[in-house]
Chain A
Amino acid sequence: MTAPEGDRLDHLDPEDPAYTYTAAKPPLPETPEQLRARIPGWGVDLDPADRPAFPRERFDPDLNGAHWEFPERQPERLPRERSIEHAFLTPVFGTATPLKGVSGAVRRYAYRYGEARTAHWLLLIAADRVDSVEETVRSFASRHPDDPVTETGVLAEATHGGLRSRFGRGRADVHHQVLDPVVVAAPWVVGGVVGYRALRALVRRVR
């Protein structure tokens, strides 16, 4: 046992429950020498100056090797949505999955709100769900329709120990994993019911 505070508190008994209600710090089970012998590299970054994140901000415009003061601007081939908390479209931006369809309209609307507004984020999450339905409907007109069995990877339950990994191990997350299929299946069930009713109404109207 070592007491980091040194000799001044040596007369106190570390086993006494009142020990840590004095000025003493709880004793450590191993000395620095023992730790250095047991742990590879113990203490090599003791000096904060050796730690790359110290200090938090360190002004050095040459740090990253950029050979520009302001980057060239990436061409905007399609109209690109942006946060209204930016003065302009950033000089470089991602080009994955541009806005389209109903989800695109919802997202375009969401970007009228600043990032401090919960409406901004909730509209974007709503658009994600609409987009998922749109994409699934589109997929049925393609050569690669969505397949919830292969896309959820659920077949790995059989090959990667679905039962033995979950049960008899006291896992806290098993209690709510039963909700995962609900989260996955609910939009399919709701979509199926709505589709069936719409089709039935259409057939009745035609008759």
Chain B
Amino acid sequence: MRAMVYRGPYRVRAEEKDSPRIEHPNDAIVRVTLAAICGSDLHLYHGAIPDTRPGTTFGHEFIGVVDQVGPSVEKLRVGDRVMVPFNIFCGSCFYCARGLQSNCHNVNANATAVGGIYGYSHTAGGYDGGQAEYVRVPFADVGPAVIPDWMHDEDAVVLTDAAATGYFGAQLADVVEGDVVVVLGAGPVGLLAAQSAWLMGAGRVIVVDQLPERLEKARTMAHAETVDFTEHDDVVVHLKRITGFLGADSVIDAVGAEADGNFLQHVAGAKLKLQGGSPIALNWAIDAVRKGGTISVMGAYGPVPNAVKFGDAMNKGLTLRMNQTPVKRQWPRMFEHVRNGHLTPREVVTHRFPLEHVAEGYHVFSSKLDGCIKPLVVPGAS
């Protein structure tokens, strides 16, 4: 089959690779019809996540058609159109039984610090991902869902991670009616988090970024106020000023390890890998939230230590909430919101690359060229 393959930092290509096979009785093999590149794929692409092996296929956001099922699969049939949560989970362990499917204990042999994720290094279990013609889907009876007839394919693929993560991030911000919510980052997760904060009754939603096209999208798609951090010598002071010098009730970090805004922090974290990513957004969140407020961390960071301002967090009495999103738990309610037009995931999609041009897709997304916010990868397209 044809598949995206990682070759080393900043290098990927489409190449011929053995098709996946049924490894476990509850596996399915899915023929991928649409995949996406996630902002967190860029951490892999830049060589920041330990145990990212050349030869691995990335891609944890994908939809497709069931091509084969293992002998114990009861709920899926060959030919079903499915959307697959980015989490690989068993459905039966201590964590899965409590709704924390993203923390499943039975699928990641390589680490207990993270659950299983498709195409996200051996640190997340060593599974190949969905930026390929075919992908192995473990625990086919608990993970995938048949795509509802009314749902647009691009909504479905964005719901497998980015949209669910934005919605989850807004929930972890513990929004109550009238809260001022600041969202750091106007990428797909930040945009969906901003939309979601309104559903929970936010009184103001303020989105911070630096790219004009993303700030414009925050205004039009998420109906938010926007702040371009490059226009302010100290964006934290600006956020204090526009929130009556108290700070926001909650701040959502929708940026993670590739954050910009402080040259030294970025180079030390994102380029030299001296820490597990650059924690600029997280530190801005700690300083911009009001005392007693809540920070929701949706940005991904690496497993080595970060220079985080923990003293400020303690002294301000903050609540820090975070997790990889248990995607499937979000879906029933999110499907209602999408159907009612309250959440509009596919609005974030800006680019579509054939699988054969996946290297260009990564470069355009990584370098933020051409107004790229969310690129999709289309197997079989020319």
Residues of chain A having any CB pair with chain B under 8 Å: 2, 4, 17, 19-21, 25-26, 28-30, 32, 35, 38-46, 50-54, 56-61, 63-72, 74-75, 80-83, 85-86, 89-97, 103, 107, 111, 115, 118, 121-122, 124-125, 127-129, 131-132, 135-136, 139, 144, 146-148, 150-157, 159-162, 165-166, 169-173, 175-177, 179-180, 183-184, 187
Name which of B105-113, B151-159, B185-193, B311-319 contacts chain A: B105-113
A-B CB pair tally, cutoff 8 Å: 326
Q: For the complex, what is the distance from the CA of A107 to the CA of B363, rounded to whole Å?
A: 29
Query: Chain B: which residue is nearest A41 at the CB level?
Result: B342
Contact between B171 and A171, CB atoms less than 8 A apart: no
> Which B positions have Cβ atoms within 8 angstroms of A?
7-13, 15, 23-26, 46-47, 50-57, 72, 74-75, 88-92, 96-101, 105-113, 116, 122-123, 125-128, 136, 138-139, 141-142, 168, 171-172, 177-178, 180, 196, 198-201, 203-204, 210-212, 223, 228-231, 243-246, 260-261, 263, 266-267, 270-271, 273, 302-305, 326, 328-330, 332-334, 337, 340-343, 359-364, 367-372
Question: How far apart are the CA atoms of A122 and B312 in the complex, in Å?
Answer: 28
B230 touches A172 (CB 8 A): yes
Contact for A46 among B10, B15, B201, B334, CB less than 8 A: B201
Q: Known contacts A45-B199, A53-B330, A96-B128; is A125 also within 8 Å of B273 by CB?
A: yes
Q: Is the interface of B mostly helix, strand, loop or mixed?
A: loop
Measured CB to CB, the nearest residue on chain B to A85 is: B112
Q: List 14 A-B contacts (CB under 8 A).
A: A4-B178, A38-B223, A63-B96, A72-B26, A82-B109, A90-B106, A91-B106, A93-B108, A96-B122, A97-B53, A115-B113, A122-B50, A153-B359, A176-B263
Among candidates A20, A28, A118, A121, residue contacting B204 with C-beta atoms closer than 8 Å:
A28
Contact: A96 with B53, CB < 8 Å? yes
Residues of chain B lying within 8 A (CB to CB) of residue A118: 304-305
Give the Cβ gap from B91 to chain A, nearest Cβ, in Å.
3
Q: How far is the CA of A4 from the CA of B246 in the complex (A)?
A: 15
Contacts of B223 in A (CB 8 A): 38-39
**A68–B93 alpha-carbon span in the complex (Å):** 10
Contact indicator A171/B230 (Cβ below 8 Å):
yes
B69, chain A: closest CB distance, angstroms: 14
User: In the assembled complex, how far is the CB of residue A178 from the closest CB belonging to chain B, in whole angstroms?
Assistant: 11
Binding site secondary structure of chain A: loop
Q: Which residues of B contact A159 (CB under 8 A)?
A: 360
Residue of B nearest to A146 (CB): B7
Q: A60-B97, A128-B53 are in contact. Are A71 and B243 (CB under 8 A)?
A: no
Q: Give complex CA distance A38, B101 in Å.
A: 35
Residue of A64, A124, A132 with most chain B CB atoms under a 10 A cut-off: A64
B96 touches A115 (CB 8 A): no
The winner among A44, A69, A75 for most chain B CB atoms within 10 A is: A44
The 8 Å CB contact of A160, one of B108, B138, B178, B360, is: B360
In the complex with contacts A90-B108, A151-B11, A175-B263, A165-B96 CB distance below 8 A: no
A173 engages B368 (CB within 8 Å): yes
Closest chain-B Cβ to A59's Cβ sits at a distance in Å of: 5
Chain B residues in 8 Å Cβ range of A166: 367, 369
When the two chains form the complex, which single residue of B106, B180, B228, B305 contacts A26, counting CB atoms closer than 8 Å? B180
A71 and B92 contact, CB distance less than 8 A? yes
Residues of B within 8 A of A128 (CB): 47, 50-54
